[in-house]
Structure 1
Amino acid sequence: MTVLVVLIVSMLLVSALLAVWRLVTGPTVLNRTLASDLLISIVICALGVEAVVGEHSTTLPILVSLSLVGFVATVAVSRFVAGDTDAAAPPDKADEATFPSGFAEDRGVEDDGSSR
């Protein structure tokens, strides 16, 4: 068990160091966001390993909270970087936004059966 724990901790440490390196040297905001999300995931894994080794479940609320914070932060930064594309859509594309599948029956056009 001890050898396995040392192996897991060393793998998490190496991946955390690589994520910090990408966080510092990432050329774009999206690279840095991805690295911070990865770092949060590594912390979640480390807390999970600690819970398994310690045979307790007291860190479960922390794991859930960190997962939620990581997801919300990634979505927020992605939406910030992408900008507001809905307001920039031309008015004639409004039907496509309402019916994303593009099928005729989604637009209210009925099939006359001639294609069968």
Structure 2
Amino acid sequence: MTVVAVLIYGMLGLGAVLAMVRLALGPSLLDRVVATDSILVIVAVGLAVHAALQRDPTVVPVLVVVALLVFVGAISVVRYVGGMLLRTGADDDELGGSPAAEQVDGRERGGRS
């Protein structure tokens, strides 16, 4: 194995360990989601590096599946957390609402008519 391969795999391993620490420590759900996505991205990059260094195209379908898992997982969690925020009645500023959403039936929110 070349020095470059050892350095690449070492950096990927260090990144995975740091992401696992973030996953374990939290403190919030979104921190854990970002850590999980980071670990899956590191796995995908590791597979891509392996495929490139070994010139092994048989890993590419696995790489595509892992990339799709990262995407679908991130979108699912964002929709879940967004639904939780909507149910709790969070402010529009927290959700990134538009100024047009400030008016309901011609009246502004806040009780003024």
**Normalising TM by the smaller chain, what interval?**
0.7 to 0.9
* TM-fit CA distance, 1:49: 1.1
Q: Give the match for residue 50 of structure 1.
A: 50
| Number of the residue aligned with 1:23 | 23
Unpaired runs of at least 5, structure 1: 88-100, 103-116
- Residue 14 of structure 2 is matched in structure 1 by 14
Which structure is higher in RCO with an 8 Å CA cutoff and minimum separation 6?
A: 1
4+ long deviations beyond 6 Å: 84-87
Q: Secondary structure at the match of 1:76?
A: helix
- One-letter amino acid of the counterpart of residue 13, structure 1: G
Q: Distance in 1 between matches of 2:73 and 2:5?
A: 30
Which runs of 5 or more structure 2 residues have no equivalent in the other structure? 88-97, 100-113
- Higher Cα Rg: structure 1 or 2? 1
> What is the alpha-carbon distance in structure 2 between the residues aligned to residue 26 and residue 56 of structure 1?
37
**Normalised TM-score (structure 1):** 0.70
Percentage of pairs with the same residue: 40
Q: Where do residues 56-67 of structure 1 align in structure 2 (5 Å cutoff)?
A: 56-67=56-67
Q: For residues 25 and 76 of structure 1, do their structure 2 counterparts lie closer, same or farther at Cα, with a shift above 3 Å needed?
A: same
Name the SS for the 1:10 alignment partner: helix
Equivalent-residue separation in structure 2 for 1:69 and 1:82 (angstroms) = 20
Higher helix share: 2
Supply the distance in 1 between the matched residues of 2:7 and 2:21 (Cα, whole angstroms): 21
Q: Which amino acid aligns with 2:39?
A: L
The letter for the 2-side match of 1:30 is L
Q: How big is the shift at 1:26?
A: 1.1
Q: Aligned runs of 1:1-116 on 2, under 5 Å?
A: 2-83=2-83
Decide whether aligned partners of structure 1 residues 80 and 21 sit closer, same or farther in structure 2, where only a CA change above 3 A counts.
same
SS at match of 2:58: coil
The one-letter amino acid of 1:3's match is V
